[in-house]
Chain A
Amino acid sequence: MSWGITDRIAGFLARAARILVFLFMVGPLFFVLLMSINPQVGVFPPHAISATWYQFLLSRSDFRDGLTVSLLLGLSVTLMAVVIGTLCAFPLARVRFMGRNVLTVIFLSPLIVPEIASAVALLNFFVLIGVISNRFESLLIGLTIIAVPYVIRVVTGSLVGFDRSLEESSLNLGASWAQTTMKITLPLIRPSLLAGALFAFQASFTNVTISIFLSSADVTPLPVVLFSWMRFSFNPSLAAISTLLMVFTTGLIFTLEKLLGLDKLVGVTSGFSPSI
């Protein structure tokens, strides 16, 4: 019966390892959460729970401005990234043209190239042009460049497994290519479009490096505001915003799970699987 014992020991160790890793990763975050609801600085564990720091956040105009800028940027970047990304995804996924692999790598490169390199390059570029440096537009362009690869990856993933006979059927029944794309293809890849949009929003909203390099006195995204706070004044309101961002990101992940998971439940019979 040594088999059974070994199995059980192995199982126990595996579970223990999992729990430890989980605690290790989540621990600091939990700590931050505690800090954010602790009205007294430097006292741990907290004696009381209060929303002081959250209120503090909202009272600061630079925070509110930063939030507004980030939201506006986020929405615009999402829109542009989804449109550009989807347009790119179709030929990349479907047409076998010369240089396709090279082009794919180029389009996805922002994911691989260290962000600081991209940030410096972008800043220099905009300064060189001179026309749109230090404005909302440069941030928009810079963040879209970062966001597009996410959209391309998600959308090509679902296009590759897409059942073309559905499109053929549509054409056969008299629809033009445009009608077929609008009525058949896009609705069926909608989950991956949404997933791409969420990725894009997340990528731009939480982006630090490029935002720092491209921001200016009038246009400061939220991460940059927080960064400067950290350098000049350390108070638990940072913990508060961190907690908020964590909640936000977690919510995003759950939504994505639901989107792509729900889709499988609903049972799209065309047999494609959206993949990230």
Chain B
Amino acid sequence: MLENISKTYAGTVAVDDFSLSVQSGEFLTLLGPSGCGKTTTLRIIAGFVSPDKGNVYIHGELANRKAPNQRNTAMVFQNYALFPHMTVFDNVAYGLKLRKMNKTEIAKRVKDLLELVRLPGFEHRMPRQLSGGQQQRVALARALVIDPDVLLLDEPLSNLDFKLRQQMRFEIKSIQKRANVTALYVTHDQGEALTMSDRVAVMHQGKLLQVAPPMEIYNFPRTEFVADFIGESNFFPGKIVGLSSSIATVQTEKGLELHAVLSPSLQAEVGDAVSVSVRPERIKLLRSPVEGINTFQAEIENIAFVGSVIKYYVTVRDHKIVLEEHNTGASLCSPGETAYIQIGPEDCFVIPNVQQENQAGI
């Protein structure tokens, strides 16, 4: 299931030169803030929106000209879109009846699918009698029963309450795995994206910023936006003052020198304007000074006790930094104290500066 260079301009640029290849059976999430173009992209694949430029390929075939009802995609809508005047059975069987399947076949398939989504025996209920989670599953069954080439999910969990959302994450993923169907999932919730996907594609303002498996996206974000959107990150903008093998020395305007890892795909030279991104949980807080690179004296401004984690807000040479420590029961430092932080260079990641940000490849 492939999708290629789909470029769209709908008034304002909704999707900008977007290319993505989705593997068969893969669960890929389009992640991004509202308005980043992820739903538009999904609707282009479904056929509800026509791209201004670019091509969509489904199963190797060019799908641009095909109407939504001619493509073998199945969409699960944010509001489920179950037909309110039909029973669960008729809802799920809808696509099959259109394909002129015979009655016994249809009955069997509907039964199998309802079992797959763990709603056996629900055939005769009406949508209004079902809870949100149940409606969600019926919508899934309805989409899967027609054996689509691609399953498209448009923020299906946003209308559910928190607990249910957590539950449904696993349900949807396991259903997808069991049905072995390629799934394209759209959400703004990074938790969903990270827990469910084989790969995550981060989008912003219509552009694809990075596509990678969840761990890679988190640990090695390629742009400032990605690093900031996924999890939390400290940013140190500055210039490269030294380069050696894969380590760059970056000096910030305020005189802080950091040694950071340079990803091999990034072409960088001395003098380049870059940003160093550091995850709060990778920063070590020390009570007494220690020797080593990336070790600095820090003043503790504030402490936030979040339960399993303690957040320290410190200042190092005018840089405001957030660091996280696990709650080990050890005594906490107090605001106003002087402490020391140390960051391993492998935990500092060089990202191109915002102006140099261009799309990431596949």
Which residue numbers of A lie inside 8 Å of B, CB to CB?
163, 165-166, 168-176, 179, 184, 187-188, 267-270
Contacts and interface: CB of A to CB of B under 8 A. Distances in A.
14 contacts: A166-B83, A168-B46, A168-B75, A169-B77, A170-B94, A171-B48, A173-B95, A174-B69, A175-B94, A184-B83, A187-B85, A267-B128, A269-B82, A269-B84
A165 B79 contact: yes
Contacts of A170: 83, 94
B67 interface: yes
B99 A174 contact: yes
B98 A179 contact: yes
Interface string B280-314: 00000000000000000000000000000000000
Among B46, B81, B127: residue with most chain A CB under 10 A: B81
A168 B128 contact: no
B81 A169 contact: yes
Given A172-B46, A174-B95, A269-B127, A166 B81 contact: yes
Contacts of A163: 79, 81
A228 B183 CA distance: 74
B75 A175 contact: no
Contacts of B82: 269
A166 B79 CA distance: 10
B81 A171 contact: no
SS class of chain A's interface: helix, strand, loop or mixed? helix
Among B79, B82, B143: residue with most chain A CB under 10 A: B79
A169 B84 contact: no
A263 to B, nearest CB: 11
Contacts of B143: 173
Interface string B342-355: 00000000000000
Given A269-B127, A270-B84, A171 B67 contact: yes
Contacts of A172: 46-47, 68-69, 73-75
Contacts of A270: 84
B135 to A, nearest CB: 9
Contacts of A179: 98
Given A165-B79, A269-B127, A269-B128, A171 B68 contact: yes
Contacts of B137: none
A161 to B, nearest CB: 14
B346 to A, nearest CB: 46
Given A163-B81, A168-B46, A175-B69, 15 more contacts: A165-B79, A169-B75, A172-B74, A173-B95, A173-B98, A174-B95, A174-B99, A175-B94, A176-B69, A184-B83, A187-B85, A188-B85, A268-B84, A269-B82, A270-B84
Interface string B15-59: 000000000000000000000000000000011100000000000
B48 A174 contact: no
Contacts of B77: 165, 168-169
Interface in B79-137: 79, 81-85, 94-95, 98-99, 127-128
